[in-house]
Amino acid sequence: MPSLKSLRTRINSVKSTRKITSAMKMVAAAKLRRAQEQAQAARPYAERMERMLGSLAASLAGGEGGPALLAGTGKEQTYLIVAVSSDRGLCGGFNGSIARFVRNKARKLIVEGKTVKILCVGRKARDILKRDLEKNIVGTIDEIGRPQLGFHHAEKVAQRILHMYEAGEFDVCSVVYNRFKSAISQIVTDQQLIPFAPPVAVEPARGEAPKLVAPGDSQAIYEYEPDEGEILADLLPRNLSVQIYRALLESNASEHGARMTAMDNATRNAGDMINRLTLNYNRTRQAIITKELIEIISGAEAV
Amino acid sequence: MADKVEFELVSPERLLLSRAVEMVVVPGVEGDFGVLAGHAPLISTVRPGIIEVHEDGKITDRIFVAGGVAEVNAERCTVLAEVAMPVGEIDRHKVEAELKDLADDLAAAKTEDDRDVLQAKIVIAESKLQAISTVH
């Protein structure tokens, strides 16, 4: 039977753990709200960018080649996977699911005879992936978005990817991130960035009315200033930044959502544990008192 | 109203402006252009400068943009700007300090790429200053 003192210390330690987890939950909830607002604010830009690129790409389609970012390098040998995770742990399955997805994808590609390179955004993905894919990891970008995630962070990541692309280090690039669905559910999403794949159908973002695209809108013959090629050359790298920015924002919101849920569970579990331990403690105390009484009474009877 | 154009100004961080206006003047790379309702479809890159929103014959908003793209069609004018802020929010001293820092960085920059990036930033800062001086 555990001693009373050891029980007391355990109860206290679980109590302070509960304090920490519940504080973390509050913090995550506050951050989640901000992250969500930020993600929502970034949506219009990404949507319009997509629409514009779509019409540009359509008007260029049929023409030869186009910029390498649009047409690709013509091979599909080397894949770059950008894994977006968080820098900190204690957020449930958030990083684990990213790592699992990346690992499966990388294995599949390796079996097919492709070369796989992984760029980790966030420390956690690297920590998990380096166990069995260490030689595939080409770089890590961490401490991103501190104190607050901004567009320039995304631009930095995009610059790095572009440099690698121009140096011919990969042919296809995709980004894997947790898309924010709700505070308790995040969806691992795999999005191809290079070559640019026009979205099949843009689903309207939550809380926003579906965009009414006037008929004939996309078919309108645009005038270009300067010409298509130059605009496209300007727009494609920018689109890359925007897509990465969106991935980072979604991932950021997901991280806080995941942490909030995880910490909520932890707080509840700690509460249960405290109840159990307290019951145990009281029983033990009662048992000791009873034992002492019996000793006294039987001693008195013996006299 | 038929003679209004839906103007939207978006930056990656937020939607700055979205309303029907009479006319917008956008600084295109090949010169400023005014957009009225019924404008011919056009896609143009935007140089750093000021977007002017005209209503009832007066300028109601002046917004600084640091480059981007504009898409125009008969009903709508959408500007995707990298950085956008109302001219009134630009702080002269801050920009001047920034410009000085950038010049220092440029002198210290080693690679060609760094220099290009800094040069682009300097152009933006300079056009910011220019934007303020046209107001005062």
Burial of A166: CB neighbours in 10 Å, binned 0-12, 13-18, 19+: exposed
Instruction: Report the chain B residue with the minimal C-alpha distance to residue A39.
Output: B13
Q: Annotated catalytic, A91?
A: yes
Under an 8 A CB cutoff, do B13 and A56 touch?
no
The shortest C-alpha distance from B68 to chain A (Å) reads 9
Between residues A5 and B67, which one has the greater pLDDT? A5
Say how many C-beta atoms besides its own lie within 10 A of residue B97's C-beta.
Answer: 12
Residues B12 and B77 in one domain: yes
Q: Where are the domains of chain A?
A: 4-23+263-302, 31-261
pLDDT for A217 equals 46
Residues B77 and B116 in one domain: no
In chain B, how many domains are there? 2
Residues B81 and B122 in one domain: no
B29 touches chain A (CB under 8 A): yes
Helix A4-60 to helix A228-302 angle (10° resolution) is 170
Give me the torsion for CA of A8, A9, A12, A13, rounded to 10°. Answer: -150
CATH topology of domain A31-261: Pyruvate Kinase; Chain: A, domain 1 (3.40.1380)
Under an 8 A CB cutoff, do B45 and A231 touch?
yes
CA A216, A219, A221, A225 dihedral sign is positive
Residue A34 CA to residue A235 CA, distance in Å, equals 29
Residue numbers in B near A249 (CB within 8 A)? none
The shortest C-alpha distance from A276 to chain B (Å) reads 49
Residue whose pair of structure tokens reads 């140089």 in the numeric block: B47
For A68-123, what is each residue's pLDDT tens digit?
777 677 778 889 999 999 888 888 889 999 999 999 999 999 999 889 999 999 88
B82 touches chain A (CB under 8 A): yes
For B25-51, what is each residue's pLDDT tens digit?
999 888 888 998 888 888 888 888 889
pLDDT for A206 equals 43
Residue numbers in B near A223 (CB within 8 A)? 40-43
pLDDT for A208 equals 41
Residue numbers in A near B113 (CB within 8 A)? 163
Residue in B18, B32, B45, B117 to test binding to A, most A beta-carbons within 10 Å: B45
Under an 8 A CB cutoff, do A56 and B43 touch?
yes
Which tokens go with A80?
């770059």
B111 touches chain A (CB under 8 A): no
pLDDT for A62 equals 52
B41 touches chain A (CB under 8 A): yes
pLDDT for A198 equals 59
Residues B51 and B113 in one domain: no
Instruction: Report the chain A residue with the minimal C-alpha distance to residue B16.
Output: A41
pLDDT for A209 equals 41
Residues B34 and B54 in one domain: yes
Q: Return the DSSP state at A204.
A: P
Under an 8 A CB cutoff, do B13 and A38 touch?
yes
Percent of chain B with pLDDT over 70: 96
Domain range for residue B42? 5-87
Would you give per-residue pLDDT tens digits along chain A (303 residues)? 678 899 999 999 999 999 999 999 999 999 999 998 888 888 888 888 887 887 777 776 655 555 677 767 777 888 999 999 988 888 888 999 999 999 999 999 999 988 999 999 988 888 889 888 888 888 888 877 677 788 888 888 888 898 888 888 888 899 999 988 888 888 998 988 887 765 544 444 444 444 444 444 445 577 887 777 778 788 888 888 888 888 999 999 999 999 999 999 999 999 999 999 999 999 999 999 999 999 999 999 998
Where is the domain boundary, B47, B62, B87? B87
Residue in A55, A163, A211, A222 to test binding to B, most B beta-carbons within 10 Å: A222
Q: What is the mean pLDDT of residues B76-96?
A: 84
Which is catalytic among the residues A91, A137, A172, A249?
A91
Residue B26 CA to residue B33 CA, distance in Å, equals 5
B38: domain CATH number is: 2.60.15.10
Count of CB contacts below 8 A, A vs B? 75
Query: A4-23+263-302: which CATH number, 1.10.287.80, 1.10.3720.10, 3.40.190.10, 2.120.10.70?
Result: 1.10.287.80
Q: What is the mean pLDDT of residues B67-77?
A: 86
Residue in B69, B85, B112 to test binding to A, most A beta-carbons within 10 Å: B69
Residues B18 and B37 in one domain: yes
Residue B5 CA to residue A54 CA, distance in Å, equals 23
Residues B18 and B50 in one domain: yes
Residues B72 and B95 in one domain: no
Residues B98 and B79 in one domain: no
Residue numbers in B near A220 (CB within 8 A)? 41, 73
Residues B17 and B75 in one domain: yes
